[in-house]
């Protein structure tokens, strides 16, 4: 999997999560780039981050160290972490 593929898959996973975790019906999307800080820019909190780690494991078919992953803030860092986990799994 290329970095770009991992990025697109990650964005899709997070967007789907943000949509699913909303009971509001409001459809406004938040744009996600490699520079996006998921906590600062998307307002994701630690509980949501735990849910997203679970989704990433499902979607990428990998097992991650949740505690370590939760320290990654930027999308680019998460992509790098996923790429590393992918090759070691």
Partner 1 sequence: MKKRRVVVTGMGVLASNGNGIAAFKEAIFSGVSGIGPITRFDASNLDVKIAAEVKGFDPVEHMPVAVARKTDRFAQFGVTTARMAIDDAGLSENDSALTKAAVIIGSGLGGMNFHEEAMFALIETSNPKKVPASSVPRITPNAVSAYIALQNKIKGPNQVISTACSSSGQAIGEAFRKVRSGEIDTAVTGGVEATISIVNMAMYQAMMVLGSPLGEDLKTASRPFDKTRNGFVMGEGAACLILEELEHARNRGAKIYAEVVGFGSTCGAYHMVAPNPSGEDAAETMRLALHDAGLNQDSVDYISAHGTSTKLNDLAETQAIKSLFGQYAKDIPVSSIKSMIGHTIGASGAIQAVACCLAIDSSCIPPTINLNSVDEECDLDYVPNQSREKELSVVLSNSFGFGSNNAVLAFAKIR
Tell me the closest approach of the beta carbon of residue 5 to partner 1, in angstroms: 26
Q: Torsion over CA of 61, 62, 66 and 71, rounded to 10 degrees?
A: -110
With respect to partner 1, which residue has the nearer C-beta, 73 or 80?
Answer: 73
Write out the residues near partner 1 by the rule CB under 8 A.
18, 21-26, 28, 30, 42-45, 47-48, 50-51, 54
Q: With respect to partner 1, which residue has the nearer C-beta, 5 or 12?
A: 12
Rounded to whole angstroms, the Cα distance separating 64 from 34 reads 20
Rg of the chain in Å (alpha carbons): 12
């Amino acid at each position: 999997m290329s970095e770009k593929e991992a990025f697109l898959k990650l964005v899709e996973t997070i967007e789907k999560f943000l949509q699913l975790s909303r009971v509001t019906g409001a459809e406004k999307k938040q744009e996600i780039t490699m520079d996006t800080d998921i906590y600062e820019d998307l307002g994701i909190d630690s509980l949501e981050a735990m849910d997203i780690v679970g989704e990433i494991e499902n979607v990428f078919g990998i097992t991650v160290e949740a505690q370590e992953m939760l320290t990654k803030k930027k999308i680019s860092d998460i992509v790098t972490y996923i790429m590393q986990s992918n090759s070691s799994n």
